[in-house]
Amino acid sequence: MAERSTAAVDVADNSGDEPLTAKADAATTDGTAQAEDAESASSKDARSGQDRPSAVPASPDLHSGHKLAGRYRLEECVTRLDGFSSWRAVDEKLRRAVGVHLLTADHPRARSVLAAARSSALLGDPRFVQVLDAVEEGDLVYVVHEWLPDATELTALLAAGPLEAHDAYQLVSQISQAMAAAHREGLAHLRLTPGAVLRSSTGQYRIRGLAVNAALRGITADQPLRTDTEAIGALLYAALTRRWPYESDAYGLSGLPKDLGLIPPDQVRAGVHRGLSELAMRALANDGATASRQEQPCTTPDELAKAVAAMPRILPPEPAFTAPPEYQRTTYQQGTYGRPSARPASVTQPVIIPPPPLQSRAGKALKWAVSALLIAALGLGSWQLAETVLNRKDSGEPTPTQTTDDGGDDKAAEPSKPITVVGAQDYDPLGDGSEKPGSTKNVYDGDTSSFWTTDGYYSADFGRLKEGVGVVLDLGKVQQVGNVDVSFLGGNTSVELRTTEDSSLPQLPGGFTKAAGGSGTKVSLKPDKPVQARYLLVWLTELPLGDDGNYRGKISDIKVTS
């Protein structure tokens, strides 16, 4: 799980008898908590109520450039805390950035970290930052997770000010639904802080550190459902007010005034949405008090998600349009060029209006003369053309036909004909080498309801993992190709047509020659001139967003004509 920002928070017992208290540790560039002071490290964990181990093994002494499993190259240590370290690394096999948590195999929490990571990886929900690998190798245990460089932490968003009502509504809606799905699979977060929530460039919220963050720090809870629900309420409270809903400061946010208790967000800051303010109070533990309408508290993420769904939908604000500048009349006036007139303004000069062109007697005579000449010229030309045609018919000479530049006869030009595709295969040389090979036959079977689809990616540009992916069509032999029509499902897709006359497939897409390109749901790829090819590569370069939150390309039909 790409845990770029998970500032530590210690909370009181989960029973709800006392208000939660929080304290934030300093954050590194990755946002992960730094080492706690000696006093807090030896005290009881406020969330779990359990004693921390009196001594834990030191974090693994590794350096930048070290490789794990021969592929994960460590780049920068972003956290060294409580016997484990977190790194930004590079997966050299797939050429992408990843995050890595490292601890020694004899660490007392090594087994629970491995179990939590493997359970989280099985969830496979795109609303969570995914665990990619969990390995015990020699004297090391490490967890590899996604790294999302284009996402922004909620901590950074709140540093700029409170969220708009629509953004806060999206936050609580998406986070509560995601955590409800996780709890249905028996997974809890237990450290759901502003640093554990990311917002992508498309406005989707992603949660990182599911189960793993708590396992790394040995955090448990008697009431995990209540713990995560209260954490979502605290996130909503902070999003509405830019204040942490407890007396202690945390995550760069000021706490509430002391001895005042937990007050609703709309009493902390003017202009807060009333429904969202009540929702935050229903999710937080506040000595039995709930929202102003005395509605029942939400004790599980599923209850909170249903409460959000029951609210009237909060629409995004209308875009602000700047008015165009007022039209300014120029100072140019005929005959003055902006200079004041030398004559008094009260004197009115008569204006002589010249007659329209060719309205005089001489002009009318000239028009008639020109018209007569044109009529005579047209009659003479028609008579000469007719005489020439009649003479050629009498002499038996053939009438010439217009030929094209390549010497062909327009009358002999053959219409385009469909070309039979004899086979198709997936083409993913820049990835893992395979992209849904079992359904490639659907692109030329003539059935528009069947389709070939790509894997799911987290952005339209394949998660920045590769330049593209596609399908190769085999025409059986080298033939002249004049047009390739591609039908897509799911939204506008950017695609290129690449060709080759070789009898074998190129190993890389650069071995093909680009012939045409386009974007849409029905794209006609027509080269500037007909090309000779046996293999055609339909190369997808940008994918649409699917209903499941992933970006996928779907080809339902391809037709090739000469």
Q: What average pLDDT does range 260-265 have in this prediction?
A: 88
**248 contact partners, CB below 8 Å, separation of at least 6:** 21, 22, 23, 255
- pTM for this model (two decimals): 0.52
User: Which residue intervals of 185-300 are DSSP H helices?
Assistant: 212-217, 224-241, 265-268, 274-283
How far apart CA 540 and CA 470 sit, in angstroms, is: 5
Q: What average pLDDT does range 61-83 have in this prediction?
A: 92
pLDDT tens digits, 168-212: 999 999 999 999 999 999 999 999 999 999 999 888 999 999 999
Tell whether the model's pLDDT for residue 21 goes beyond 50: no
Q: Is 393 helix (H, G, I), strand (E, B) or coil?
A: helix
pLDDT attached to residue 276: 96
Confidence grade of residue 393 (pLDDT, cut at 50, 70, 90): low
Confidence grade of residue 1 (pLDDT, cut at 50, 70, 90): very low
- Using CA atoms, how far residue 525 sits from 35, 403, 441, 474, 532, in Å, is 58, 27, 20, 17, 15
How far apart CA 494 and CA 461 sit, in angstroms, is: 10
pLDDT tens digits, 372-382: 888 888 877 77
DSSP-assigned states of every residue in 210-225: TTHHHHHHT---S-HH
> CB–CB of 179/105 below 8 Å?
no
Neighbour-count burial for 506-515, b at 16+ CB within 10 Å, e otherwise = beebeebeeb
Burial class (CB in 10 A: 0-12, 13-18, 19+), 40: middle
Tell whether the model's pLDDT for residue 502 goes beyond 90: no
Q: What is the CA radius of gyration of the chain?
A: 36
Confidence grade of residue 394 (pLDDT, cut at 50, 70, 90): low
Q: Could you tell me the maximum CA-CA distance found in the chain, to the nearest angstrom? A: 118
- Using CA atoms, how far residue 9 sits from 46, 195, 210, 217, 280, in Å, is 9, 10, 15, 11, 19
> CB–CB of 493/544 below 8 Å?
yes
How far apart CA 92 and CA 175 sit, in angstroms, is: 32
% pLDDT > 90, the chain: 52
% pLDDT > 70, the chain: 76
Helices 301-310 & 165-184 angle (0-180, nearest 10):
140
Tell whether the model's pLDDT for residue 115 goes beyond 50: yes
How far apart CA 487 and CA 494 sit, in angstroms, is: 12
Say which range, 233-242, 365-374, 508-517, 521-530, has the weakest mean pLDDT: 365-374
User: 408 is written with which tokens?
Assistant: 């062909």
How far apart CA 249 and CA 231 sit, in angstroms, is: 15
> CB–CB of 471/427 below 8 Å?
yes
Burial class (CB in 10 A: 0-12, 13-18, 19+), 271: exposed
- What is the phi/psi pair of residue 55, to 5°? -150, 135
- Identify how many contiguous H helices and E strands the chain contains and give both numbers: 10, 19
Upper half-sphere CA count for residue 23 (Cβ side, 13 Å): 11
Residue 430 CA, chain-centre distance (Å), reads: 21
- Whole-angstrom distance between the N-terminal and C-terminal Cα of the chain? 50
Q: Is 180 helix (H, G, I), strand (E, B) or coil?
A: helix
Q: What average pLDDT does range 121-143 have in this prediction?
A: 95
User: 35 is written with which tokens?
Assistant: 């080492």
pLDDT tens digits, 401-456: 444 444 444 444 567 788 999 999 999 888 888 888 888 999 998 888 899 999 88
pLDDT tens digits, 343-367: 544 445 555 565 555 555 666 777 7
Which residue's entry shows tokens 């893992």?
Answer: 432
Tell whether the model's pLDDT for residue 467 goes beyond 70: yes
Going by C-alpha positions, the residue among 154, 155, 191, 160 that lies closest to residue 174 is: 154
pLDDT attached to residue 366: 76
CB atoms within 10 A of CB 55: 9
pLDDT attached to residue 381: 76
**156 contact partners, CB below 8 Å, separation of at least 6:** none
Tell whether the model's pLDDT for residue 33 goes beyond 50: no
Instruction: Return mean pLDDT, the chain.
Output: 80
How far apart CA 357 and CA 158 sit, in angstroms, is: 73
Residue 325 CA, chain-centre distance (Å), reads: 36
pLDDT attached to residue 377: 81
- What is the phi/psi pair of residue 170, to 5°? -65, -40
Tell whether the model's pLDDT for residue 163 goes beyond 90: yes
383 against 511, higher pLDDT: 511
How far apart CA 53 and CA 62 sit, in angstroms, is: 23
> CB–CB of 130/1 below 8 Å?
yes
User: Which residue intervals of 438-559 are DSSP H helices?
Assistant: none
> CB–CB of 175/196 below 8 Å?
no
User: 518 is written with which tokens?
Assistant: 């386009």
User: 329 is written with which tokens?
Assistant: 């009349």
pLDDT attached to residue 361: 65
Sheet strand arrangement including 197-199: 152-153, 197-199, 205-207
pLDDT attached to residue 392: 60
Q: What average pLDDT does range 331-346 have in this prediction?
A: 48
Sign of the CA dihedral with 375 first, then 379, 382, and 384 last: negative
Confidence grade of residue 74 (pLDDT, cut at 50, 70, 90): very high
pLDDT attached to residue 108: 94
Query: What element of type H or E holds 374?
Result: helix 361-395
| Planar angle of CA 161, 166, 168, nearest 5 degrees | 55
Q: Is 313 helix (H, G, I), strand (E, B) or coil?
A: coil
pLDDT attached to residue 92: 95
pLDDT attached to residue 323: 65
